[in-house]
Amino acid sequence: MNFLVLGSPFLLFMLNYDWTTSYFIKLVGALLTLVGIIELKSEFKDLLKLKKATALYAVFCGVSAGCIALMKFFHILGSEKIKLRPLGDLLSLALWAGAVFFGLYISRQVYNCIDKERENLSDTVGLVRLGYTLTKVIYLTVFTYVSNVIYILLPYRQTADFFAVLMMIGKICLYVLIIVYSVRFFRVRTSYYQKENDN
């Protein structure tokens, strides 16, 4: 379960929509999760159903990073030309939506698969707390993403600045929650290995 624990914060981490680094972080999370799925395929059989989706997600993140790099190279993203700027923003926001929400989907499904076979854990209380934290992460991610979109696309600067503040607050709270989620996932991992040693 070590690889699932290591990959979980990378899947949930949220930087800027127009940074190639953001997609590479998600790619690392997808690859670690994929290795974790293969590692636990005998203990948590439902995880195998996520193998193709996680591999597809890894490919998507890699391709998205390449697209962002190309848009920057050809000055489509961050262009000073008014006609090109909306195109670059819309394309990059669409890619970022896929990267963010597909990552949330994988994280939720990983949790559901572990929850279905909770008999493999010595303590299920930690798993329940992990689920609560993940739900909060999902809601806060949606809030932060929507604030980001409004900030970028809204033509009125004063109103847009308000959503920029909301976005920053959302990101800070999100990072704290991801740390809490990682700690709780580590406790679930400890519970899994304790059960394994008892057997």
Tokens of 85: 């700027």
Model confidence over 13-58: pLDDT tens digits? Answer: 888 777 888 899 999 999 999 999 998 887 788 888 899 999 999 9
**Residues above pLDDT 90, as percent of the chain:** 54
How far is 170 from 154, CA to CA, in rounded Å?
18
Q: Domain residues of the chain, as ranges?
A: 2-198
Does the reported pTM lie above 0.85? yes
Tokens of 18: 């127009």
Helix (H) or strand (E) holding 29: helix 20-39
